[in-house]
Structures are given as C-alpha cells and as structure tokens.
C-alpha cells in the first residue's frame, strides 16, 4: 500500500521546502521566561473591548514530576467579567504537524489581525496589524497554543522531542496542556471549546474524546476549520478513487473562478458522486463509450483538455490540477486557495515548484507576530519563533506500523454519543484544494451519528480557500456563524440544566 502524507493545510511540501531553509532546528528549552500580562483596549464595531493578554509558558512534567516540556501560549481574557464560570474559553490550534498557532492567532480569532491585500489573494505592500473587528474575544476568551517544537515551545533539557511527534502523543500533550491551564487559571467551570484548523482539527477531534475519558473534562463544543478527519478523502493514491471524486467540485470551482468553465456547484457534486465515481470504480472494464462521455464532462467541468484527462486515466489530483489549469499562461493556482495565481517557474514540469497561496500568508504573519509579541505584549526572548517546523513533520509518526489512512471522525462521533450537549461547528472553503469541501462533508455524513445527535453538527461552506478568514467577507461571516453557534450551545446547555432543577416545569 502506498501512502501520501503531506503537511496538512497551511503546510504543504512546497511551502515546507522554503520554510526548511530558514528555520533552525528547535533547541531544548532552558528556564522559561515568566508569563507577561498586559492590558489592552480596542474598538470592535464602535464598542470598546477591554482585555488582558498573557504571553508565557506552561511547564509539563511526567508522573514523577520531572520536567518534560515548556509550552508557549498567548491567552486573551475579557475584562469586567465577574463570573468566570459563565465566560466561555476556547483553546486554538493550527495544523501541520509542525505548525505554530500564528495563523489563527493573527488571521481570524485574536484581537489583532494581519491585513492582506484585496480579498486576501495578493501580498500587501507593507505588513501591519489592525484591530480585528471580527475577533472571537467578544464572545469567548482565547488561548493560542504552540505544540512542542513549534513557536517557542520546546522540550526540557535532556528530553528527546521526537517522542512527542506522533498522532497519539500529540493529543495527549494537548490534553495535558488544557487540563493544567484550566487548573492554574481556575477555569474548570467555564464552558470550554477547542478550535482547530486543518491538522488542528485532527487534534481537536482526538482531544474531545480524550478529555472526556482521561481528564473528566467535557468540552461544550469544537469549531473545525478546513477539517482533516479522514485522510483518505484527500490522499490521491492509486486505488483510492474516492479522493478524486470528492475533489472534483473544488477543481470545478477553481476553473469557474478563473473563467475556464461555467458550472453549477450542485450539479457537479451530484455528477461527481454518481456518474464520475461510478465510472472510476469500473476501472479497466469501463466501456469505451462511457469513458468518452466521462472525459467530455470532466473537461467541461474542470477546464482541462480532454487529452490531459484521458492520459491521466480520468484521475487528476489537486496538485496536478494546480499546475495544469493555467499552464498555457505560465501560471499556477494555489492549493490552499485556488483563487491565488502564481508565476510558473518550472513550466515543463508536472507539479508546481511552490504554492503561491501559502507564500502570501508566510511573510506577513511571521513578521507581524515577532514584532507584536515584543512591542505590544512585552514578551522578549532571543529564541527563534518556529512558525513552521519541517523537522517536526519529518519525524512525525502516524501509526505504530505506518499503514493505512488517519481517521479520527470516530473519536468525534464517540464524544458526541457520550455527551448530548457536545456540539460541532465545521467550516469549509469552496476554493480549498488541500482538504476539498466535499470530502469534509462526506466525512461528516458518514460518521454514523444517532439521529438525536445530528442536529448537534453544523456545517457551513464559504467562498474562500483553506484559510477561510483571508477573505474579508468570509472572515465576517465566519465570525457571525461561530458567535451564533457558541451562543446557541450555551443556551441549549443552560435550558437543559434549568429543566433539571428541582421544581422546574416538565
């Protein structure tokens, strides 16, 4: 069995090759700097938002009390809240593996955000932060966590970091962080959420179940952005026909955006899951007349030539599509966001040399974060901030024996089955070629949820890429949708709790 493992989401191999040249190997942590607390005031929609920011480390130790690692975090708590037990708190993780939390921190959730040009498809002329009108801090406190080997998070001296670079160990460390944080900062009674993007959703799904069973800590919900719960849905391996079918509507959306096709999304979705997938499952037994029809329809939907589709055996991966769609113009489209266009520096190759969408969100975010931590949050250190670690990803262990596809949707389903109050919000981008939206929806539709739990899952689609928030209109819509989701979750939980009180009406 051949496997395809990549940096999920933000961290495709093309982007990682660039990052690997600039990121020094993470050094073990020495005595961590003490947390720094600062007070801030911004205006959100004309209303003042007063909050405290805490930047620092949370030490982790083993059962014997021996130091294991120091995890860096930045937390924001709204001022003036008299009862912390009623104030929600959200723990946010980006993806990778090997990624820090800089993108969710300064792109969508935090009180400050990086300004990108236009609709998020161009590099800004200068890098700057502005008050984030769409910050989630209005309805939940926030904690941005950098996993071991990312950001400033490092293992303790003499501790091998590689032992933490696995799917199971990563979830264990994140679970321990959350338990320690809510203990140290007295948030056990607060409604608790986890937000994850890309591989961060893989972590979030595992966390929801592990926190319930290992820590006795029940989350109120999770917010999943560009979900990666079933890796089979975006692994373009020989014999894995489902991935090609699930990607087709995203390829069609990109073709339509660049005026290479004109199709209806619903029509393409139905065709992909019926005619197209059925044809792929026939393999070499597909009749020639049916094959010609599939080639013609696929060319119509994707904007690719019939000859290219024919020589590709009807199967075009997202990475090959990225290279081929605008080949005649010596341009490529982004994998993370197919609206973004880049110059093709290797026009005769089969794959693009880099992802232009990834490039747009690297320099601006890394530069502004390093300045922001020192200038605004008064956190000073000479350690390099590992925004993306190729070393972590290269050392990552997915399974004990390295076979099969990662699948954590069952962890999420089990967490939902156990807790009737636990809810899931999932957001997907129409122009995301990394984790195509139909693959995400397919995973959610096949979780085997009990009918009583299905209404606890909310799925939303946005006209954006993998990083939904880089598109200003989608950033606002995402904020409003998540705010409504959190509010509804709290109202449902409160109503149920009230109904259980003695003397309450039946």
Contact 9, 228 (CB under 8 A): yes
Identify any residues that bridge with 99 across adjacent strands, giving them in sequence order: 388
Sign of the torsion angle spanned by Cα atoms 335, 14, 171, 401: positive
Q: What is the pLDDT of residue 38?
A: 98
pLDDT over 80 at 26, yes or no: no
CA–CA distance, 128 with 143 (Å, rounded to integer): 22
Average pLDDT over residues 96-118: 95
Given a cut of 80, is residue 4 above it in pLDDT?
no
Which CATH number is correct for 13-231+363-456+477-499, 3.40.50.720, 3.90.1640.20, 3.40.50.1820, 1.10.10.10? 3.40.50.1820
Q: Nearest to residue 386, comparing CAs of 162, 196, 148? A: 148
Q: How confident is the model at residue 391 (pLDDT cuts 50, 70, 90)?
A: very high
Helices (H) and strands (E) in the chain, counts: 16, 14
pLDDT of residue 45: 84
pLDDT score for 5? 37
Selection from 22-36, 287-301, 492-506 with the highest mean pLDDT: 287-301
SS3 string, 184-214, reads HCCCCCCCEEEEEECHHHHHHHHHHHHHHHH
- What is the spatial distance between Cα 288 and Cα 250, in angstroms, rounded to a whole number? 27
Give the pLDDT confidence score for residue 31 in this predicted structure: 53
Confidence of residue 493 (pLDDT cuts 50, 70, 90): confident
Q: pLDDT tens digits for 439-484?
A: 999 999 999 999 999 999 999 999 999 999 999 999 999 999 999 9
Contact 195, 91 (CB under 8 A): yes
Q: Give the confidence band of 10 by pLDDT, cuts at 50, 70, 90.
A: very low
The reported pLDDT for the residue numbered 347 is 81
Q: What is the mean pLDDT of residues 260-280?
A: 96
Q: What is the pLDDT of residue 91?
A: 98
pLDDT tens figures, 143-191 = 999 999 999 999 999 999 999 999 999 999 999 999 999 999 999 999 9
Tens-digit pLDDT profile for residues 124-133 = 999 999 999 9
Question: Mean of the pLDDT values across residues 360-384?
Answer: 95
**Mean pLDDT to the nearest integer, 42-66:** 93
**How do 141-145 and 89-93 pair as beta strands?**
parallel
Residue 328's pLDDT is 94
Which of 271, 316, 310, 267 lies closest to 292, judged by CA?
Answer: 310
Which DSSP category does 478 fall into? H
Confidence category of residue 32, pLDDT binned at 50, 70, 90: low
For the cut 50, the answer to whether the pLDDT of residue 499 exceeds it is no
| Spatial separation of the C-alpha atoms in residues 203 and 220, rounded to whole Å | 16
- pLDDT one-digit tens code per residue, 288-347: 999 999 999 999 999 999 999 999 999 999 999 999 999 999 999 999 999 999 999 888
Q: Is the peptide bond before 311 cis (omega within 30 degrees of 0)?
A: no
Q: What is residue 407's predicted lDDT score, i.e. its pLDDT? A: 96
Count the neighbouring beta carbons within 10 Å of the beta carbon of residue 403: 9
What is the predicted pLDDT for the residue at 506? 32
How far apart are the C-alpha atoms of 78 and 40, rounded to whole Å? 10
In degrees and rounded to multiples of 5, residue 38 shows phi and psi of: -130, 155
Task: Kindly list the domain boundaries of the chain, sorted by start residue.
Answer: 13-231+363-456+477-499, 236-359
**How would you label 128-144 residue by residue, b for 16+ Cβ within 10 Å and e otherwise?**
ebeebbbbbbbbbbbbb
- Beta bridge partner(s), residue 52: 39, 77
Which is more confidently placed, 326 or 8? 326
N residues, the chain: 506
Whether 443 and 428 have beta carbons less than 8 Å apart is answered as no
Q: Residue 163: what pLDDT?
A: 94
Cα–Cα–Cα angle for 497, 423, 498, nearest 5°? 10
Q: How far apart are CA 105 and CA 143, in angstroms?
A: 9
Q: How confident is the model at residue 16 (pLDDT cuts 50, 70, 90)?
A: very low
Q: Which of 115-124, 204-213, 282-291 has the lowest mean pLDDT?
A: 115-124
Contacts of 137 (CB under 8 A, 6+ apart): 49, 51, 76, 78, 109, 110, 111
Residue reference for tokens 């690997």: 20
Which of 105-109, 183-187, 381-385, 459-463 shows the lowest mean pLDDT across its residues?
381-385
Of 10-19, 44-53, 426-435, 490-499, the poorest mean pLDDT is in 10-19
For residue 3, pLDDT over 70 is answered with no
Averaged pLDDT score across all residues of the chain: 91
């Amino acid at each position: 069995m051949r496997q395809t493992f990549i940096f999920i989401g933000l961290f495709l191999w093309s982007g990682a090759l660039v990052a690997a040249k600039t990121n020094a190997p993470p050094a073990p942590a020495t005595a961590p700097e003490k947390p720094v607390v600062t007070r801030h005031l911004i205006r959100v929609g004309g209303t003042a938002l007063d909050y405290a920011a805490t930047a620092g480390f949370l030490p982790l130790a083993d059962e014997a009390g021996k130091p294991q690692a120091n995890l860096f975090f930045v937390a924001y708590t709204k001022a003036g809240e008299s009862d912390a037990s009623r104030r929600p708190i959200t723990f946010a993780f980006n993806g990778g593996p090997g990624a820090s939390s800089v993108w969710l921190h300064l792109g969508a959730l935090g009180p400050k955000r990086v300004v990108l040009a236009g609709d998020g498809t161009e590099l800004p002329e200068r890098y700057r932060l502005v008050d984030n009108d769409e910050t989630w801090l209005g309805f939940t406190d926030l904690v941005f966590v950098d996993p071991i080997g990312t950001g400033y998070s490092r293992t303790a001296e003499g501790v091998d970091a590689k032992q933490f670079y696995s799917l199971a160990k990563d979830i264990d460390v994140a679970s321990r962080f959350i338990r320690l944080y809510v203990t140290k900062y007295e948030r056990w009674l607060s409604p608790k959420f986890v937000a994850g993007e890309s591989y961060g959703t893989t972590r979030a799904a595992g966390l929801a179940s592990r926190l319930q069973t290992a820590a006795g800590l029940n989350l109120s919900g999770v917010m999943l952005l560009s979900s990666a719960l079933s890796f089979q849905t975006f692994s373009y391996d020989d014999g894995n026909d489902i991935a090609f079918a699930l990607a087709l509507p995203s390829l069609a959306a990109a073709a339509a955006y660049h005026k290479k096709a004109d199709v209806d999304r619903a029509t393409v979705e139905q065709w992909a899951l019926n005619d197209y997938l059925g044809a792929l499952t026939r393999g070499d037994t597909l009749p020639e007349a049916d094959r010609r029809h599939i080639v013609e329809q696929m060319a119509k939907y994707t904007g690719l030539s019939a000859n290219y589709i024919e020589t590709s055996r009807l199967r075009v991966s997202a990475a090959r599509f990225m290279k081929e769609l605008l080949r005649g113009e010596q341009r490529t489209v982004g994998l993370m966001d197919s609206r973004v266009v880049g110059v093709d520096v290797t026009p005769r190759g089969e794959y693009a040399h880099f992802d232009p969408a990834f490039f747009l969100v690297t320099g601006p975010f890394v530069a502004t974060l390093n300045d922001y931590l020192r200038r605004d949050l008064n956190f000073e250190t000479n350690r390099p901030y590992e925004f993306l670690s190729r070393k972590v990803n290269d050392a990552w262990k997915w399974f004990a024996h390295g076979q099969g596809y990662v699948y954590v949707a069952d962890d999420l389903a089990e967490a939902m089955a156990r807790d009737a109050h636990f809810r899931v919000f999932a957001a997907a981008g129409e122009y995301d070629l990394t984790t195509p939206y139909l693959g995400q929806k397919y995973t959610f539709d096949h979780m085997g949820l009990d009918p009583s739990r299905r209404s606890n899952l909310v799925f939303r689609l946005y006209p954006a890429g993998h990083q939904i928030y880089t598109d200003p209109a989608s950033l606002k819509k995402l904020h409003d949708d998540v705010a409504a989701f959190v509010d509804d979750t709290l109202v449902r939980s409160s109503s149920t709790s009230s109904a259980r009180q003695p003397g309450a009406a039946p």
